[in-house]
Structure 1
Amino acid sequence: MPLPLYPRFVSLLGAACGAIAAPVLAQTDPAMPVVEVVGTTPLPGIGVDRALLPYPVQTAGKAERERSGAANLSEYMAQNLTGVNVNEVQGSPFQNDLTFRGYRASPLLGAPQGISVFLDGIRINEAFGDVVNWDMLPEAAISSVMLVPGANPTYGLNALGGALAFRTRSGRTDPGFEAGLSLGSFGRKRIDLAYGGQFDGGWHAFVAGTRFAENGWRDHSDGRLGNVFAKLGRSIGGDSWSLALLQGSSTLVGNGLLPDDLYENRRRTVYTHPDRSRNRVQQLAFNAEHWLDKDTVVSTLVFGRKSRRATVNGDIHPAYEAYADACADGFDAAGAPRDDDCVDNAGNPLTRDAALGLAPGVLNQTRSRQSAYGFGLNLSRDSGIHKLSVGFAAERNRVRYAQTTEDAGFDASRGAVPFPGAAPALDAAVRGHAWNAGVYAADTLALSGSTHLTASARYNVAKVTNTLTDEDGVQPTESFRYTKLNPALGITHRLAGGWTLFANLARNTRVPTVIELGCADPEQPCALPTGLQADPFLEQVSSRTIEAGARFGDRKGALSVSAYQSSNRDDILFLRAGATQLGYFDNFERTRHRGIDLSAQRGFGRFAARLGYSYLEATYDAHGSLFAGERTVQVGPGTRIAGLPRHTVKLGLDWRPSAQWTIGADLVAVSSLVTQGNEDGLLEDPEDDEPLALGDAGIAGHALLALRASYKPSRQLEFYARVNNVLDRRYETYGVLAENLFPGGVLAQPALATEGAQDARFVAPGAPRSINVGMNFRF
């Protein structure tokens, strides 16, 4: 299949490439080549010159992240990595819904995950839902970040849109003591401590810790987290080993979306609360490298990881929401319903008194325990024309999950308060086991001095076993097995002027998660995202990526441009189950992500500039019916996927007026977003006797400016400040059409037509202006 072209952007990209490439080429120094070696598999090995890889890898070290002044890793990636965007659906800085080329790495249970995330070779997507808990990353211990695009098979399951790999520091690479302290708006406080040391006999040790707390910029959104990372190791000659321990905990609040009327009145308010998540993680990992000879190294990994998650969410009671909708016509003077659909669970007419007595709220609580144990082995060899890696990886997971509900009322702030004497009732539970194993090989072959061919493949085997418990008791155990061989093939060719052309074709897969298999029966639908009812078979998702582009780099600048298309087959989406407020997961025939990424960096004396531009066309590529908020949305080929901007521009400028001072500015601009539930251009589901409710409920584009400065009076001490959203722009990052049970902030009464629920657009409000100041000390 030929790579699609985008005529309306060809002239724009041509002008941009020419404008940036001209000064870069003028500064080219062929005698000073830039060589950056990066890994091609999750486990460390010999590595490959990044210029030889047939896809554009993005990397960032500790120094780059510190210069940005970003508050955390998610913020840094969103502002600096091309193709990365953030939806502030949860409203917490450590619970961001991150996307890359339209694929997600998110803490939201039930979201379709498409990016694999690794910490020192350990895949940290949790087994229950493949979610990524950004709050459990030991940021003070992170040495480097690497983002690999496309369906790269060597990174295993779930790397559909890309893989994100974090490496940690050690006493050998980072000796000395470091302390960082920052204070910011909304009561934010953070301290990072780290110490690394080298000792006699090749021993080395490293320990780092982080403590963070905030009041939050929205109401009822205080949060805190803390973690400790420790590593002990020894290096003798070329051989080395290390033992690393991670312990983390957090209590964070994600207050979610707001209906337009509440948002316009006061963007800091919340719809309902509480919305609290409590995470715990413990991880122990052993890594070792042994050189068989000067060209061959064997790397191994053995790990164990345990995590716990507890959530409590105050929501509208599903029965109350259904009755509020069914009884929209109200009741007559005698208390009888005017609508035949206004009935109770038994199908009897619902009286006015009974409707007023319904429990309007519910406290949903979940508890999950997960454990993972794994092993990996990788052999790398550099024989001159071949740079070969072969390996094996296996992982076993155990999941325990339970959800309870408790009847509640609402206080004046729309907080759910349990009824006196109410007790939590089990809604659903699951006990599951999953294991997966894969064997892979990758080789970069020098066809000539300027042309290299990269081929890789991985064979995966996975099995998921679930036992569900619901209101009817324990259900029969279900077990599903998946296998797939995924290949990739790419080529690079270096031109005489320093440019490199590249092209790559790759395929990868992900298997259904427990949450998807547990709600996959249209005859037994559930509530998104945590209900569990039944687990029929779902096909694994298969993604194919084709990408081509060009890049240039020297010691003064770099330029990369690429065009890509990723096609998903049997994507897993949430569909509506008939005329109900429930739904189920099912395979969707095809979705497609295609676009263009452009990135450039350039130094001009005391100035340094960078540019990132992304064009993304993420669409459905088949006909189907989606469950989107309160609507059943009919989609077809070309229908845009909600929440993803077509255009994203990232600009950065640094000025060093002296050796001590650095002053910079960052601008991030995104185009408009499609609102979930409005993908088809309708505001309501069509009725037989009513005209179509046409309308655009999209989220407007926005541009955010940030300013930063740092002062370094000595090599050991640095002071810095950063102002985000300098102009205090009001903006939104996501939207969904849903039913507002609190019109004007007051609970809708199902018995009164004048106070009924209203269809509304809910939005994820962006954070207002914030200031962060801090200091770093090293010796």
Structure 2
Amino acid sequence: MTVLREGLLTAAAALLLTDAAVAQTAAGTPNFEPAAGLTLPEVQVIGTTPLAGSGIDRDKVPANVQSLDSADLAREGTPNLINGLTDQAGSVNVNAALVDPFQPDILYRGFEASPVLGTPQGLAVFQNGVRVNEAFGDTVNWDLIPDIAIDHVEIVSANPVYGLNALGGAAVMTMKNGFTYQGFEAEVAGGSFGQRSGEFQYGVRAGNFATYLAGRLFDEDGWREFSPDRLRQLYAGVAARGERASIDISFTGDDNSLSGEGTTPVQSLAVNRTLDFTTPQNNANRLEFLAVNATYKATDALSFQGNAYRREFQQAVINGNTANYTACTSGNGLLCQPDGMTPLVGTAGGAIPDLSNGGAFPIGENDRETIHSVSIGGALQTTYTGALFGRGNHFVLGGSIDHSDVDFHSSAEIGVIDPGLQVLSSGFLVDTPENSGFIATPVSLGATNNYYGVFLTDTLDLTPALAVTASARYNLAETDLTDRLGSNLTGNSRYSRLNPAIGAAYKIDSGLTAYAGYSEGNRAPTPSEIECSNPAQPCLLPSSLSSDPALKQVVSRTYEAGVRGGFAAPNMVPGHFNWNLGLFRTDLADDIYGVATSISSGFFENIGSTRRQGIETGLAYKDEQWSAFLNYSLVDATFESPLTLPSPNNPYADADGNIQVAPGDRLPGIPMHQLKVGVDYRPTENWTVGGVLTYFSDQYLRGDEANRNPTLPGYAVLNLHGSFRITKNFEVFATIQNALDARYATFGQFGDPTGIGAPGIPAGAVTNAPGVDTRFLAPAAPLAVFGGVRVHL
């Protein structure tokens, strides 16, 4: 990868030059303080846009904003963004649909940021001011974000300034640089499931110049069958600061291979929780991401901030799935489409022989896809902090342009499913043409996205205690699709909307602030959704697309109010408390929903209105020896429109395989109650021990939108951790995850487990027959122990 090589060389050269310049100065020391509580962190300046340099006092923000710093992410040892969000952030839960630690669906207030095509996305994610939702499906590949290089992450509730996809909010990550981190740190760790890893970070400053470099190597065999993971991550940055100007250049490179095996029939899990359903399942992700951020201070009140980027993403996916192909009923020795009469044709020409030997062997398919996207763009804003009518004021006006070119290819290879449930390669690729009445394959699609945005936000101090914020953003999204193998997928779409926001924050006294706000947002359908929205022709998600009716854009309306504050502990207690209590409601119009017709196929459609509302409350404490936090969230996510959905494997489906959803039925995959409690204790200067307990209540399975079946049970998980600094420069640490060895699942759906000899499934049974349980669950990892050593210089 040319850019990767150039990035490595540039970073190495800058590192050597900067290191030479400071060879006679002592290296700085990173912050080894134990993690503070999350809910109201000590950082008081909060960003008002994704770009740096436009922050305001937290007490003026008319919303609940959460923040995790690098110490919070490293609370359990090795820095981990996913664990940090799951264990410490309010209203955040994980659906591990792929059952891979680096490919979770992260939900905030019931809105998802997922790596899975086929998951309607509702959160925007930014890294150094650049939106990193991928171009084809707005997916978020969490494995591409180098955890060790994160300085802090803010979780912002719905705000139109953050652009498309911020229906529920945004996660905004600011990365480290040589000004914010100086020193050297290296770590070697390992433990259960054959896990072994090494990572390092190095930051150095020479006057107005600084360099930061971090890397990670990670390998794991996995606790389930056929589930190894491999990560190769690099982050490098060079920065310069002047009296009025600054510039930061950063590069992120990744080369990862992830083998999340997905959900498994509940009856197979009863035999052995490590079993898979069908395999192989693998995602190979590669990234080259170059970003430039710059600021210029024209006067004490007027400044400019901007960025530009180039992001190249490549993904190769193979999914071993069951298939509905069958031996032709004519007995001609060929395979046929599900109707038993239409022979399967291969891409090389000619019919495909009956690999099932007359139905003696189950038939599956290896669905392959490749995505190659190149995105370029940038943003520019001006910030003015001069007084308005004699009152304090903070005004930001800006705009952004994002352009992406995407190549998408998919194919389906027929294969026999062996006794180990592996789909064996045969070399026969299915060629099903458009308009045949069956799922079209192969697919070759080109997509071009152009996203434009203009935004403004203004915070005016009406009184010294009362600040009012008004914001707006105009979004324009244009998508052009080119079908390279036919014409059905060719088309274009255009979506636009002006989204306003208004809110106020009132500082009642130094330790108490009240706030309230209203905002709107929108999400334009992605290329993968636009071309997979026909109920009559479900798509292999994510492998195939079809020609479809137009989707409407989703519009959100969010209401939020709350109070927050802090106070010194009573005299007998040396520390300080922070707390928060808030209410929220987000109503979506024309919500886009991913309707699953089987484990591997489905379609997208507008389903009318949905609602996500709830309560967020938290309490945090910290002194020199103790730090603790408690977060409770209630997230009530419901359908608000009646609708009919296909769910053929749901035991309560009607004769046509449909279920009836009524207003008030709960959205699947979202637990209503969340409780998170964490405590750290430092008995000596060099020794820290602690634990985090999380509880998530029950949830409905995907495919049970009508709420007729028993729910997926709730669960509680206890994680323990500790560290000991043997010398000034040498530290050991250990983590026990799922210390009570809880048996639980984080996600469930309905599917057909029959016909392939899956363990625990009665031989010869058919779906929904007596003795067949059609529930598929995503089992969580058992008790695991990890440890490592860390060197600080």
Short-chain TM bin: 0.7 to 0.9
Q: Partners of 2:249 and 2:67 in 1: how far apart?
A: 25
- Cross-structure match for 1:160: 167
- Residue in structure 2 matching 1:660, options 681, 686, 695: 686
Q: CA deviation at 1:723?
A: 0.4
Q: CA deviation at 1:207?
A: 1.2
Counterpart residue type for residue 122 of structure 1: V
Contact in 2 for aligned 1:515/1:530 (Cα 8 Å): no
- Residue in structure 2 matching 1:674, options 683, 688, 700: 700
Secondary structure of the 2:135 match is coil
Contact in 2 for aligned 1:612/1:651 (Cα 8 Å): yes
Counterpart residue type for residue 231 of structure 1: G
Q: 1:204 to 1:574 in 2, by over 3 A?
A: closer
Secondary structure of the 1:262 match is helix
Contact in 2 for aligned 1:45/1:379 (Cα 8 Å): no
- Cross-structure match for 2:586: 566
Identity of aligned residues (%): 32
Secondary structure of the 2:237 match is strand
- Cross-structure match for 2:787: 773
Q: CA deviation at 1:102?
A: 0.6
Counterpart residue type for residue 502 of structure 1: Y
What are structure 1's unaligned runs of at least 5 residues? 1-32, 328-333, 336-340, 683-695
Contact in 2 for aligned 1:626/1:634 (Cα 8 Å): yes
- Cross-structure match for 1:624: 643
- Residue in structure 2 matching 1:120, options 119, 128, 144: 128
Map residues 371-382 of structure 1 onto 2, 5 A cutoff.
Answer: 371-382=374-385
Q: 1:575 to 1:677 in 2, by over 3 A?
A: closer
- Cross-structure match for 1:247: 253
Q: 1:610 to 1:566 in 2, by over 3 A?
A: same
- Cross-structure match for 2:659: 633
Q: After superposing the two structures, state which structure 1 stretch, 635-644 or 460-469, moved more.
A: 460-469
Map residues 312-711 of structure 1 onto 2, 5 A cutoff.
Answer: 312-320=318-326, 343-346=339-342, 355-356=358-359, 360-384=363-387, 385-419=392-426, 421-423=427-429, 425=431, 426-469=441-484, 473-475=486-488, 477-496=490-509, 498-554=511-567, 556-575=576-595, 583-603=602-622, 606-628=625-647, 630-631=649-650, 632-682=658-708, 696-711=709-724
- Residue in structure 2 matching 1:59, options 64, 67, 88: 67
TM-score when normalising by structure 1: 0.87
Secondary structure of the 1:186 match is helix
Map residues 97-116 of structure 1 onto 2, 5 A cutoff.
Answer: 97-116=105-124
Q: List per-residue Cα deviations over 1:390-446 (Å, max 9, x = no partner).
A: 111010011110110111012221111112x53465522211101111110011110
Q: Partners of 2:787 and 2:183 in 1: how far apart?
A: 23
Secondary structure of the 1:678 match is coil
Q: Partners of 1:353 and 1:457 in 2: how far apart?
A: 60
Q: 1:194 to 1:69 in 2, by over 3 A?
A: closer
- Cross-structure match for 2:206: 199
Counterpart residue type for residue 112 of structure 2: R
Contact in 2 for aligned 1:468/1:533 (Cα 8 Å): no
What are structure 2's unaligned runs of at least 5 residues? 1-40, 332-336, 345-353, 432-440, 569-575, 651-657
Contact in 1 for aligned 2:324/2:338 (Cα 8 Å): no
- Residue in structure 2 matching 1:267, options 264, 270, 273: 273
Q: Partners of 1:752 and 1:592 in 2: how far apart?
A: 37
Q: 1:747 to 1:675 in 2, by over 3 A?
A: closer
Q: CA deviation at 1:744?
A: 4.8
Q: Partners of 2:85 and 2:355 in 1: how far apart?
A: 53
Q: List per-residue Cα deviations over 1:78-135 (Å, max 9, x = no partner).
A: 0010111011211211111111111001111110100000000110000111100011
Q: Partners of 1:565 and 1:619 in 2: how far apart?
A: 11
Q: 1:615 to 1:355 in 2, by over 3 A?
A: farther
Counterpart residue type for residue 45 of structure 1: G
Q: Partners of 2:82 and 2:648 in 1: how far apart?
A: 27
- Cross-structure match for 1:725: 738
Q: After superposing the two structures, state which structure 1 stretch, 500-509 or 67-76, moved more.
A: 67-76
Counterpart residue type for residue 711 of structure 1: F
Q: Partners of 2:103 and 2:599 in 1: how far apart?
A: 30
Q: Partners of 1:511 and 1:105 in 2: how far apart?
A: 15
Q: Partners of 2:764 and 2:545 in 1: how far apart?
A: 28
Secondary structure of the 1:674 match is coil
- Cross-structure match for 1:6: none
Counterpart residue type for residue 615 of structure 2: I
Secondary structure of the 1:264 match is helix
Secondary structure of the 1:79 match is helix
Counterpart residue type for residue 83 of structure 2: E
Counterpart residue type for residue 625 of structure 1: T
Whether 1:214 aligns to 2:220 is: yes
Q: CA deviation at 1:345?
A: 3.8
Q: CA deviation at 1:767?
A: 0.8
Counterpart residue type for residue 197 of structure 2: R
Q: CA deviation at 1:173?
A: 1.7
Q: After superposing the two structures, state which structure 1 stretch, 626-635 or 73-82, moved more.
A: 626-635
Q: After superposing the two structures, state which structure 1 stretch, 102-111 or 602-611, moved more.
A: 602-611
Q: List per-residue Cα deviations over 1:123-161 (Å, max 9, x = no partner).
A: 0000111100011112221111110012x1010000000
Contact in 1 for aligned 2:122/2:168 (Cα 8 Å): yes
Q: Partners of 1:496 and 1:753 in 2: how far apart?
A: 63
Q: Partners of 1:406 and 1:529 in 2: how far apart?
A: 15
How many residues are aligned here? 712
Secondary structure of the 2:590 match is strand
Q: 1:304 to 1:412 in 2, by over 3 A?
A: same
Counterpart residue type for residue 624 of structure 1: L
Contact in 2 for aligned 1:70/1:76 (Cα 8 Å): no
Q: CA deviation at 1:307?
A: 0.4
- Cross-structure match for 2:9: none
Q: List per-residue Cα deviations over 1:638-665 (Å, max 9, x = no partner).
A: 0111111010100011111111111111
Q: 1:675 to 1:41 in 2, by over 3 A?
A: same
Q: Partners of 1:54 and 1:468 in 2: how far apart?
A: 46
Counterpart residue type for residue 372 of structure 2: R
Contact in 2 for aligned 1:355/1:750 (Cα 8 Å): no
Q: Partners of 1:756 and 1:410 in 2: how far apart?
A: 25
Contact in 2 for aligned 1:750/1:756 (Cα 8 Å): no
Q: After superposing the two structures, state which structure 1 stretch, 623-632 or 563-572, moved more.
A: 623-632
Contact in 1 for aligned 2:267/2:773 (Cα 8 Å): no
Q: 1:505 to 1:409 in 2, by over 3 A?
A: same
Q: 1:606 to 1:353 in 2, by over 3 A?
A: closer
Contact in 2 for aligned 1:463/1:482 (Cα 8 Å): yes
TM-score when normalising by structure 2: 0.85
Contact in 2 for aligned 1:574/1:626 (Cα 8 Å): no
Q: List per-residue Cα deviations over 1:714-743 (Å, max 9, x = no partner).
A: 443322111011111100111112111245
Contact in 1 for aligned 2:271/2:759 (Cα 8 Å): no
RMSD of aligned Cα (Å): 2.9
Q: CA deviation at 1:710?
A: 1.2
Q: CA deviation at 1:520?
A: 1.9
Counterpart residue type for residue 195 of structure 1: Y
